[in-house]
Amino acid sequence: MAEKLLEINHAQIYYATLAGYVKAVDNVNFDINEGEIVGLAGESGCGKSTLIKSIYGFIKYPMKAISGEINLLTNGNKLNMLFVEKEELRKVRWKYISYVPQASLHVLNPVTRIKKQFLESVKREHNVKEKEAMDEVKEYLKSLGLPPDVLDSFPHQLSGGMQQRVIIAMATFLKPRIVLADEPTTALDVVVQRGILQMLRDIQKELKNSLIIVSHDMGVHYQITHKIVIMYAGKIAEIGPTDEIFNNPYHPYTRLLINSLPRIGDREQRSGIEGSPPNLLNPPEGCRFNPRCPSKMKICEEKIPEMVEISKGHFVACHLFQKNGKRVKEDAE
């Protein structure tokens, strides 16, 4: 049985505003095991990036951890990343958990060669001499199919795809057990995207670690993930094995997301999901998807749905399903 690396229990992470709290991540629960590639999916503003930042312990105002746990399991100990001290964070970052941020192409210093940036990040966390570190870095880049002359380049001399590969190489050099990637293929063309995804998958296979990838693109999740967490308006709508989610989506929101994907040979016009996500300052009562849901029932406006296991490892939070996982009715009122 795979070892559990991360457990998220009733996590609540809000944003403080003058008008009140924005409930960005609200009572989220799931676990991540060793060797899993887990996707966080959903429309923009659903809480994906907030959650992945919180997993990394990157909680800065106006973000605020309200309650719950995001436990990083290290050497038999639990480290709650929502309320962890900076000194404890330093001990686990890069070596145990690393982060490829959203818009990471802007992370690199434009006036400093890649070599110096790589060395600074490695030496800060890895007490080795510069020549020894440089030899290790060159060997690692070679194993990833990156040319050694990349190290002598300035960021502006590299393509967007090559910059992203460098960032991923930095984040994975110390062989962390968990890698967090927030929209790693954004702003890249489809050919480069495929290369980036293949690189992430190859690294995961080599290190046998866990990868958590954020993307609003369901096609990205289909290509690379083992398990998908579907988020809507700060809550989990559905979670399960990737193949199972795509072949048997239960939540109306999940079905609409998947049905919006273009298919080869299918000339039928695709359409987006009608309506807009709710204002998380004052989210709707009951199921947060109910104002847009084509299968809405009266109870959906009154009661928050519980998470129900439909099949092994496949959970859904929807009033269309009873405790035993059977559908209440085929067509909602």
pLDDT digits (tens, 9 = 90+) for 61-119: 999 999 999 999 988 789 999 999 989 998 899 889 999 988 776 888 999 999 998 88
User: At 276, which helix (H) or strand (E)?
Assistant: none
Mean pLDDT of the chain: 89
- Start-to-end C-alpha separation, the chain: 43
Task: Indicate the number of domains in the chain.
Answer: 1
Residue 195 and residue 162 in contact, taking contact as beta carbons nearer than 8 Å: no
Tallying the residues shown for the chain, one arrives at 333
**With 70 as the cut, is the pLDDT of residue 262 above it?**
no
In the chain, % of residues over pLDDT 90: 68
Whether the pLDDT of residue 327 is over 70: the answer is: no
Q: Regarding predicted confidence, which is higher, 193 or 322?
A: 193
Residues paired with 214 in a beta bridge: 40, 182
- For the residues 156-164, what does the mean pLDDT come to? 90
CB of 8 closer than 8 Å to CB of 175: no
Contact criterion met (CB below 8 Å) for 38 and 15? no
**Count of CB atoms situated within 10 Å of the CB of 199:** 20
Q: What pLDDT does 264 receive?
A: 56
Kindly tell me the number of DSSP H helices and DSSP E strands found in the chain.
9, 12
Q: Summarize the confidence of residues 285-289 as an average pLDDT.
A: 97
30 part of a folded domain: no
Distance from the Cα of residue 114 to its chain's centroid: 26
Give the whole-angstrom CA distance, residue 241 versus residue 65.
29
Mean pLDDT of 218-225: 92
**Closest Cα to residue 308, out of 292, 293, 326?**
326
167 part of a folded domain: yes
Say if strands 235-241 and 307-311 run parallel, antiparallel, or are unpaired: unpaired
Residue 333: pLDDT above 60?
A: no
Residue 2 has pLDDT above 50, yes or no: yes
Tokens found for residue 132? 């020894």
293 Cβ contact list (under 8 Å, min separation 6): 252, 253, 287, 300, 332
Q: Is residue 133 part of a domain?
A: yes
Q: What is the pLDDT of residue 269?
A: 64
The mean pLDDT of 120-135, rounded to a whole number, is 74
Q: Give residue-wise pLDDT tens across range 19-69.
A: 999 999 999 999 999 999 999 999 999 999 999 999 999 999 999 999 999
pLDDT top residue among 34 and 323? 34
Q: In this structure, is residue 144 part of a structural domain?
A: yes
Does the residue 92 lie in any domain?
A: no
- Does 332 have pLDDT greater than 50? no
Mapping DSSP to helix (H, G, I), strand (E, B) and coil, where does residue 244 land? helix
CA distance 141 to 148: 7
pLDDT for position 263: 61
Secondary element (H or E) of residue 200:
helix 190-207
Q: What does the DSSP assignment read for 173-199?
A: TT--SEEEEESTTTTS-HHHHHHHHHH
Which residues are CB-contacts of 211 (< 8 A; sequence separation ≥ 6)?
A: 36, 37, 38, 178, 179, 181, 200, 204, 224
Bigger pLDDT: 262 or 141? Answer: 141
pLDDT at 321: 87
Report pTM: 0.91
**Can you give the pLDDT at residue 270?**
63
The answer as to whether 291 is a domain residue is: no
Mean pLDDT score, 188-203: 90
Give the model's pLDDT for residue 330.
45
Question: Is the pLDDT reported for residue 322 higher than 70?
Answer: no
What is the domain extent for residue 128? Answer: 97-175
Q: Does residue 277 register a pLDDT over 90?
A: yes
Contacts of 25 (CB under 8 A, 6+ apart): 11, 12, 13, 14, 47, 50, 51, 54, 234
The answer as to whether 281 is a domain residue is no
| Alpha carbon distance 38, 89 (integer Å) | 22
* Residue 139, in any domain of the structure: yes
Those residues with Cβ within 8 angstroms of residue 194's Cβ, 6 or more apart along the chain or in another chain: 223
